Amino acid sequence: MSSVASNLAVIERRMAEAAARVDRRADEIRLLPVSKTKTPETVLEAHAAGYRRFGENKVQEASAKAEVLSGVEDIEWAVIGHLQTNKARDVARFASEFQALDSLRVARELDKRLQREGRRLEVLVQINSSDEDQKFGLPPGEMTTFTRELLSFDALDVRGLMTLALFTDDHVRVAACFDVMRDVQRELQDADGGGWEELSMGMSGDFELAIEHGATCVRVGQAIFGDRLDPNDYWPGITG
């Protein structure tokens, strides 16, 4: 077994144990391997272990990998990092999912480009659950107005919410971020009579806690693929 495959097996087991601690079913939680900075060969190791969708935070790097691996019929890409409007066209071409929607400008541009490509995109709205200035994402209080506007974009399948919690060892404060997300999700579900099922939260350092607090998708990079590389070392010009 490759080290990627054995790491995936360990994460799957830890996810199942976290789910069991709070009486949740393991199969309602998806693991999104985050392959940023990693080579296409490394992505293929995870593909061989059964994974089909991979998270990338930079559009240029993601679309380059998507291109190289376009012969792999069932591979899919999730863009999980902040998007500038001028990159929306690229995302509309190759991505299956975008987890970091936080502006109507980007939503409008994505929708327009997707219509042209005849494609659709699963979308999660990014929330700034930690109230840090440097974080992307909408303040929780702005969600209700934002979501009303989102309904007009036909090519966007709005599935739920995403967040990056505080980076700290203080579990209480990290868990507070996750709980903010659950509150926002409940408010939206009450207002809309359902929907918003996806809660993408938790990374290598906090995915178990995130599961205990309601995550339906965890985005795990380093715990699967090891330390991040500088992609320009193996692929000059891949990031820009």
Ligand X SMILES: *Cc1c(COP(=O)(O)O)cnc(C)c1O
Within residues 162-201, the interface with ligand X by CB under 6 A covers 164
Q: Nearest to residue 8, comparing CAs of 52, 39, 40, 59? A: 52
Per CB under 6 A, the list member of 57, 129, 147, 185 interacting with ligand X is 57
Dist. CA 169–CA 176, nearest whole Å: 13
- Sign (positive/negative) of CA torsion 168, 173, 178, 181? negative
Does 219 sit near ligand X (CB under 6 A)? yes
Per CB under 6 A, the list member of 8, 19, 34, 106 interacting with ligand X is 34
Least distance CB 191 / ligand X (angstroms):
26
Kindly give the residue spans of alpha helices, DSSP state H, lying in the chain.
Answer: 3-21, 40-48, 59-68, 88-94, 104-117, 143-150, 171-192, 207-212, 222-225, 231-234
Per CB under 6 A, the list member of 39, 60, 204, 239 interacting with ligand X is 204
Per CB under 6 A, the list member of 39, 96, 103, 222 interacting with ligand X is 222
Which letter, b or e, does each residue of 82-96 get, where b requires 16 or more Cβ atoms within 10 Å of its Cβ?
bbeeebbbbbbebbb
Does 220 sit near ligand X (CB under 6 A)? yes
Per CB under 6 A, the list member of 8, 15, 80, 127 interacting with ligand X is 80
Of 6-14, 63-71, 84-92, 214-222, the window that binds ligand X (rule: CB under 6 A) is: 214-222
Which residues on neighbouring strands pair with residue 32, listed in sequence order? 219
Provide the binding-site residues for ligand X, judged by CB under 6 A: 34, 36, 57, 80-81, 164, 203-204, 219-223
